[in-house]
Amino acid sequence: MFARGDSYQRVALSRLNQVYQALGGRRALKYSDAMSYGADQILTGQGNSDYERYIRTVDLLKLQPEPDSWKHRDELLFTIVHQSSELWLKLAVAECDEIVIKLKSGDILAALRLMPRIPLCITNATIALDMLEQMSPWDYQQVRRALGHGSGFDSPGFNAIRRAIPKLGVEFFRILNEAKITLLQMYVNHEKHDEIYRLAESLVEIDERLITWRARHFKVVERSIGLHVSGTQGTPVEVIGKLRDKTFFPEFWDVRTEITNYALSEENK
Ligand code: HEM
């Protein structure tokens, strides 16, 4: 697949034009002619091209309301931010399930190769939040009316994340126990326990990115509707403020304090 500005595409189009005109073609072919979908499309399904059929763009692009049914000006923006976040979280959960299988089978390196995908998914959902701040606080009030009792607490993506991520912790602590070392010992001798160390740090990375998402979400909520009000399900905004530092893996944060105290005790010997 080549992008519109791709030089390969331009060369191919210019050669096609030479042949076309030699055969008596009256006008120069345009990019759109070259892109007309011929017999070389091999997949079945809805859409004119294999791209549309494979990506299922026909179904996908039907999932956003058309302007004539919009209840407010920002319906498309609001829907796309939420839908795309759900998709990134769906990928994060799928990768998480796969990583758990790898860890159960003892393949730590394979798990480590997949691990960065989870924080990347969460970062994409975090960046998507920026778009919501393009709505004015007053315009958001129109959005709120259209939402019914729709609330982020019912986000399938986040609820699946809440169930999936702790499974990584279970596998990690099983592996740590099997190595017969404590978390502190592993961190102090991290070079000796490199795989376990990298596993631990990838869980910290996931935890930190989720905390970053919550902090960002909280600010977006405050900027949109204010602090001393309740959401569509009656939850005071202050409550999500308190959830900000919620962690899946408190042990990994506590061990930092233990490491510092241990280092200090060694220095004082
Ligand atoms: C302007 C945009 C947004 C506003 C004003 C907003 C508002 C709120 C409010 C007030 C709550 C508390 C529960 C309630 O009463 O509804 C909440 C919770 C939540 N929202 Fe949003 N939200 C926004 C965007 C998003 C987006 C894009 C997502 C991504 C899927 C999301 C996911 C969540 C989640 C997961 C919770 C549960 C709290 C947690 O687990 O930390 N929200 N939101």
Residue 148 lies in a domain: yes
Q: Report yes or no on whether pTM surpasses 0.95.
A: no
The answer to whether the CB of 195 falls within 8 A of the CB of 160 is: no
Can you tell me the distance from the alpha carbon of 195 to that of 75, in angstroms, rounded to the nearest whole number? 46
* CA 171 to mean position of chain CA atoms: 23
Q: Which of 240, 244, 247, 248 has most ligand 1 atoms within 8 Å of CB, for mutation?
A: 240
Q: Are residues 62 and 84 in the same domain?
A: no
Centre of ligand 1 from the C-alpha of residue 233, in Å:
10
For ligand 1, atom 4, the nearest C-alpha belongs to: 221
Q: Are residues 30 and 134 in the same domain?
A: no
Q: Are residues 154 and 227 in the same domain?
A: yes
Domain boundary among 73, 89, 123: 73
CATH of the domain at 259: 1.20.58.480
Q: Are residues 202 and 88 in the same domain?
A: yes
pLDDT on residue 6:
46
Centre of ligand 1 from the C-alpha of residue 217, in Å:
7
- DSSP annotation of 152: G
The answer to whether the CB of 95 falls within 8 A of the CB of 103 is: no
Report the atom number in ligand 1 closest to the C-alpha of 158.
35
Residue 89 lies in a domain: yes
pLDDT, tens only, 87-114: 999 999 999 999 999 999 999 999 999 9
Tokens 């809440």 correspond to 162
Count of domains forming the chain: 3
Q: Are residues 135 and 49 in the same domain?
A: no
Q: Are residues 147 and 234 in the same domain?
A: yes
List the one residue out of 120, 113, 119 whose CA is nearest residue 99: 113
Q: Are residues 112 and 79 in the same domain?
A: yes
Domain that holds residue 69: 44-73
Domain boundary among 28, 55, 73: 73
Residue 154 lies in a domain: yes
Q: Are residues 172 and 225 in the same domain?
A: yes
Q: Are residues 84 and 114 in the same domain?
A: yes
90 lines ligand 1 (CB under 6 A): no
126 lines ligand 1 (CB under 6 A): no
List the one residue out of 83, 251, 100 whose CA is nearest residue 163: 100
For ligand 1, atom 42, the nearest C-alpha belongs to: 152
Kindly report the number of other CB atoms within 10 A of residue 75's CB atom: 18
240 lines ligand 1 (CB under 6 A): yes
Q: Are residues 133 and 240 in the same domain?
A: yes
Can you tell me the distance from the alpha carbon of 135 to that of 133, in angstroms, rounded to the nearest whole number? 5
Report the atom number in ligand 1 closest to the C-alpha of 82.
27
Residue 128 lies in a domain: yes
For ligand 1, atom 17, the nearest C-alpha belongs to: 152
List the one residue out of 196, 176, 173, 175 whose CA is nearest residue 105: 175
Kindly report the number of other CB atoms within 10 A of residue 74's CB atom: 20
Tokens 């701040």 correspond to 133
Q: What Å distances lie between residue 91 and 99, 117, 164, 170, 194, CA to CA?
A: 12, 8, 12, 21, 27
Reduced to 3 states (helix: H, G, I; strand: E, B; else coil), residue 230 is strand
| Angle of CA points 16, 21, 24, to nearest 5° | 135
Report the atom number in ligand 1 closest to the C-alpha of 221.
5
Residue 1 lies in a domain: no
pLDDT on residue 233:
79
132 lines ligand 1 (CB under 6 A): yes
Centre of ligand 1 from the C-alpha of residue 151, in Å:
6
pLDDT on residue 127:
98
Can you tell me the distance from the alpha carbon of 15 to that of 31, in angstroms, rounded to the nearest whole number? 12
Q: Are residues 157 and 251 in the same domain?
A: yes
Residues of the chain predicted below pLDDT 70: 1-17, 19-20, 23-39
237 lines ligand 1 (CB under 6 A): yes
Q: Which of 134, 217, 230 has most ligand 1 atoms within 8 Å of CB, for mutation?
A: 217
Q: Are residues 134 and 241 in the same domain?
A: yes
